[in-house]
Amino acid sequence: MAQFRFTRAPRVRLRGTVPVTVQLENKRQLTAKLHHLSITGGLLELGPYVDERSKVSLVFQLGAGLLQGKAELMFPMRGGMGYLQPFRFTGFAAGARQTLEVQIAALLKHAIGPNHSIALPAPRFFLDSV
């Protein structure tokens, strides 16, 4: 039987330093803070939580570029002054995915230094021996 191993996308921790505009399907806008980010999604800090599976548009400044993407929100968790809500990207504006990849790589390189490599642990699966 073939075993598949999935490598998680590299993540950067932003600790709420990046403001995000979240636009709901009804065009209402909320302000959030970005805590974690990867090419596949991230973690937002919101005042009021948004229903799970809600489709939203996100706009945020990362590095020199303004990034726009579509996302689906996941189950909110109570945290700090509001809610922490994970999301997964479902689409990007033209060129935004490439910009995001470059910015994440730059942030990771800066975080670990130029003379170190990134070593990501392999994910554990239920079939692996403990």
Q: What is the pLDDT of residues 43-75, one digit of tens each?
A: 999 999 999 999 999 999 988 889 999 999 999
Q: Does residue 124 form part of some domain?
A: no
Question: With 70 as the cut, is the pLDDT of residue 120 above it?
Answer: no
The domain total for the chain is: 1
Query: Domain span at residue 92?
Result: 12-112
Which of these, 4, 5, 76, 12, lies nearest to 39 by C-alpha position? 12
End-to-end CA distance of the chain: 19
Answer yes or no: is 128 within a domain. no
Q: Give me the pLDDT at residue 97, please.
A: 92
Asked whether the predicted pLDDT for residue 115 surpasses 60, the reply is: no
Burial string for 78-87 (b: 16+ CB within 10 Å, else e) reads eeeebbbbbb
Position 3 in a domain = no
CA dist., res. 105 & res. 86, Å (int): 21
Q: What's the pTM value of the predicted model, to 2 decimals? A: 0.79
In a domain, 31, yes or no: yes
What pLDDT is stored for residue 2 in this prediction? 61
